[in-house]
């Protein structure tokens, strides 16, 4: 397993999904970090194109596929995956088998995927950090929602994203509901008896917490957790206005993944919660 913690060496980072919205933002963040080196830009649909042409100038990197020759030349210590869930499954298998630590932001991974990743990233071959939301404010929102949950009888989550998001509900909304359900099992039943419009009450999430997904042009990533009890309600809201909001969390994960043995879910433990 590579040691991504060496303080005198820059961490060698490959970005998977390098031509995408998140991937280009990660490339720029890695380039701006003194302790990291961008060694490979992976994005098979754009193989052979120059990373410069995707708004990441000056690297001289050509976009490529995961391959033995890339591994030999670039020798990445950490791979950061912001792709699509079907692609991420294959990419992460490659990382595990090739002893490359993984930082995973791709959403839509199932419980069974996470079980597989736990076996693959066993702390011997390599480690992985998987987080559905790398924005520190969103991690705090989930943490605060779990603290608040036992004091309220009803809760609903509204997640709002840009109109190109392919999965619903968001991984953040699911994880928030799971954390709240673990924190309290005493929730009022849904009072709805008739649905004039199917789906009007949103998805039936963990512990019956309803999750509503909004997709709207102009948005980035936003979420409200609504909690109600007698005569009062509490709203916890987080807004990511720009994809740079995720970068401090991604860089933290790149720096930490070499020391966090096995599979780490979420950023909570990295932030000391
Ligand atoms: P995007 O469609 O803009 O980018 C995805 C990129 O992956 C594309 O360039 C595509 O060509 C590439 N790709 C496809 N197959 C690939 C493969 N096998 N290997 C490497 N690259 C491949 O999507 P996006 O908006 O950048 O979002 C990417 C993912 O990140 C989504 O799952 C999204 O939900 C998630 N996301 C997570 C966070 C977080 O904080 N965890 C934040 C924002 C977005």
- Closest to 131 in 3D by CA, of 100, 107, 157: 107
Strands (E), 64-145: 78-81, 101-104, 128-130
Distance 17 CA to ligand 1 centre (A): 6
DSSP letter (8 states) at residue 83: S
Q: Which of 104, 94, 120, 137 is nearest to 250 (CA)?
A: 104
Tell me the residue ranges of DSSP E strands in the chain: 11-16, 36-42, 78-81, 101-104, 128-130, 154-161, 203-204, 210-215, 221-229, 232-240, 263-265
Please classify residue 71 by burial: count the beta carbons closer than 10 Å to its beta carbon, then call 0-12 exposed, 13-18 middle and 19+ buried.
middle
The answer to whether 250 and 134 have CB atoms below 8 angstroms apart is yes
Task: Confirm if 202 and 168 have CB atoms less than 8 A apart.
Answer: no
Distance CA 81, CA 66 (A): 12
- Measured from the Cα of 164, ligand 1's closest atom is 25
Closest approach atom of ligand 1 to CA 83: 7
Spans of the chain below 50 pLDDT: 2-7
Alpha helices (H) along 133-259: 136-148, 171-183, 247-256
Tokens 């780490």, located at residue: 264
In ligand 1, the atom with minimum distance to the C-alpha of 23 is 26
Phi, psi at residue 15, to the nearest 5°? -105, 125
55, 36, 32: which is closest to 258 by C-alpha?
A: 36
**Residues identified as active-site:** 161, 165
Tokens standing for residue 232:
């009062």
Spell 83-106 as b/e; 16+ CB within 10 A means b: beeebbbebbebbbebebbbbbbb
Q: Is the CB of 23 under 6 A from ligand 1?
A: yes
28-74 per-position pLDDT tens digit: 999 999 999 999 999 999 999 999 999 999 999 999 999 999 999 99
Q: Ligand 1 center to residue 234 CA distance, Å?
A: 33
Per-residue confidence (pLDDT) for residue 6, from 0 to 100: 45
Going by alpha carbons, the residue nearest to atom 43 of ligand 1 is 22
Would the CB of 246 count as within 6 Å of ligand 1? yes
């Amino acid at each position: 397993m590579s040691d991504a913690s060496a303080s005198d060496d820059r961490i060698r980072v490959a970005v998977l999904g390098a031509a995408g919205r998140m991937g280009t933002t990660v490339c720029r963040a890695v380039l701006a970090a003194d302790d990291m080196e961008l060694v490979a830009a992976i994005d098979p649909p754009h193989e052979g194109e120059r990373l410069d042409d995707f708004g990441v100038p000056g690297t001289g990197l050509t976009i490529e596929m995961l391959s033995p020759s890339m591994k030999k030349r670039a020798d990445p210590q950490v791979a950061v995956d912001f792709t699509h869930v079907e692609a991420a499954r294959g990419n992460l298998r490659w990382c595990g088998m090739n002893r490359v630590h993984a930082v995973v932001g791709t959403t839509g991974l199932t419980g069974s995927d996470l079980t597989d990743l736990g076996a693959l990233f066993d702390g011997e071959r390599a480690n992985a950090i998987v987080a559905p939301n790398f924005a520190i404010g969103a991690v705090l929102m989930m943490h605060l929602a779990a603290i608040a949950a036992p004091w309220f009888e009803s809760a609903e989550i509204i997640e709002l994203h840009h109109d190109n998001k392919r999965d619903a509900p968001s991984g953040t909304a699911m994880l928030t509901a799971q954390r709240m359900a673990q924190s309290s099992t005493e929730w009022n039943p849904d009072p709805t008896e008739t649905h004039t419009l199917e789906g009007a009450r949103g998805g039936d999430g963990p512990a019956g917490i309803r999750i509503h997904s909004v997709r709207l042009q102009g948005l980035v990533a936003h979420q409200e957790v609504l909690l109600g009890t007698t005569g009062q309600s509490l709203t916890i809201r987080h807004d990511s206005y720009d994809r740079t909001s995720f970068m401090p969390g991604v860089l933290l994960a790149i720096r930490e993944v070499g020391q966090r043995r096995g599979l780490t879910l979420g950023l909570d433990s990295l932030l000391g919660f």
